[in-house]
Amino acid sequence: MTVRVPQLLLIFVQALAAHEGVHEGRAHRCIHDELHPRVAVRPQRYAELSDRDHEHHALADDRRALATDADDWQPLRIAVDYSSIDNATTLATIQDLVPYATSKLASALRVRPALAPLVVSGERCHEAAVPAAHGVDGVADADFVLYVTADADDGTDDADADVPLAWAVHCEVDQFGRPTAGQVHFHSQYFGLSIETLRSTALHEIVHALAFSSDLLPTFRNGLGDAWAPTTATADARGEAVTVVTTPAVRDAARAHLGCDTLAGAELEDSGGISSAGSHWESRVFGPELMAASIGAAQNSPALSSLTLALFEDSGWYRPDYDVAAPKCFFDASWCAAADGG
């Protein structure tokens, strides 16, 4: 059978589109809970804290001092270290993604600023090399140091491989438990995805390093510096036992978003195995939210909602600006019955 040229052209175009679409249609699978970084404790200097506090963990009165004086809380300053990246093309892309995320977070979050350069312990932050000067002189004008690494694109098509687009962890905390250093890693073979997906993934992962982690949830404290007891509980939803975050701001945000005043809290992801369960909102209830476990092509601009900002607030380390949150309408109110077990 003779195939006409226009048909051949159509077949070629369709095949090319299918090949390109492998990357574009791929969802980012977050593996945060598979990672087990070694975390150091390095006290930092803050206003109105006693000398004994700077030696190690804060005492109750000092934690209360940290929680007062709203005027002393300033926009979060994230210092970014790109020194591990030597590929110019990769670096150019990453220098779009990471500043997008850090500026978004700086506009949304306030912290008690460190009074001195932020000193980072050790030679490595998880897998990232820490410049020697960061452990001696520290990093000036910073509340968190982010070490950025990347795999170079070797030209192979790994779209079907079990490789995430990016991941991030914290590697150091201060005397109050707040992360002060972390690593974000990118797999540059996926840089052909839409810029919206790449930026959202960068933001998603850095939120993990700052607060939203199953390792950090048990260390959250209230406004007076006292530990929540506990931060999660088991509840019934859809006829099954689920884990929910029950801290006040998160509980209230979940109730407001879903219009369910009987919710015990915001449900955490329970599927996806150890890679995503525990450090994400439940996709079936909060699917469009930034901190759901998967970000895909159909979800190029997931929403940073008041729910995730509330989690930052309940950590005790941050004061969020709820004016930057996505509007309530991104949720489907019909989820109320499902989320509430009805």
Give the pLDDT score at 95. 97
pLDDT at 164: 85
Is the Cβ–Cβ distance between 183 and 147 less than 8 Å?
A: yes
Q: Give the pLDDT score at 277.
A: 64
The pLDDT, as a whole number, for residue 6 is 39
pLDDT of residue 8: 34
Q: Which residues pair with 268 in a beta bridge?
A: 281
Amino acid at 17: A
Number of other residues whose CB lies within 10 A of the CB of residue 123: 11
Strands 240-245 and 266-267: antiparallel
Catalytic residue check, 172: no
Structure tokens at 284: 């079936």
Strands 319-320 and 109-111: antiparallel
pLDDT for res 47: 78
Spell 33-60 as b/e; 16+ CB within 10 A means b: bebebebeebbbebeebeeebeeeebee
Report, in angstroms and rounded to the nearest whole number, the Rg of the chain calculated over CA atoms.
22
Rounded distance between C-alpha atoms, residue 294 and residue 284, angstroms? 11
Q: Report yes or no: 168 and 112 within 8 Å, Cβ to Cβ.
A: no
Per-residue model confidence (pLDDT) at position 238: 81
pLDDT for position 341: 52
Residues facing 129 on adjacent strands:
124
- CB of 15 closer than 8 Å to CB of 89: no
How far apart (Å, rounded) are the C-alpha atoms in residues 342 and 340? 6
pLDDT at position 10 is: 34
The residue type of 244 is: V
- In this prediction the pTM is 0.82
**pLDDT number for residue 297:** 45
| Cα-based angle 9, 15, 21 (whole degrees, multiple of 5) | 135
Per-residue confidence (pLDDT) for residue 5, from 0 to 100: 34
Catalytic residue among 20, 127, 205, 267: 205
Show the beta-strand stretches assigned E in the chain. Answer: 28-29, 40-41, 74-75, 78-81, 109-111, 124-125, 128-129, 144-151, 166-173, 179-187, 232-237, 240-245, 266-267, 294-295, 319-320
Over the chain (342 residues), the average pLDDT of each successive run of 10 is 37 34 52 77 78 42 49 93 95 97 97 94 96 97 97 57 86 96 95 92 96 94 87 88 95 90 92 65 87 64 90 97 79 50 50
Residue 111's alpha-carbon distances to 144, 179, 192, 301, in angstroms, are 10, 12, 35, 26
Residue (of 96, 309, 77) closest to 201 by Cα position? 96
3-state secondary structure at position 31: coil
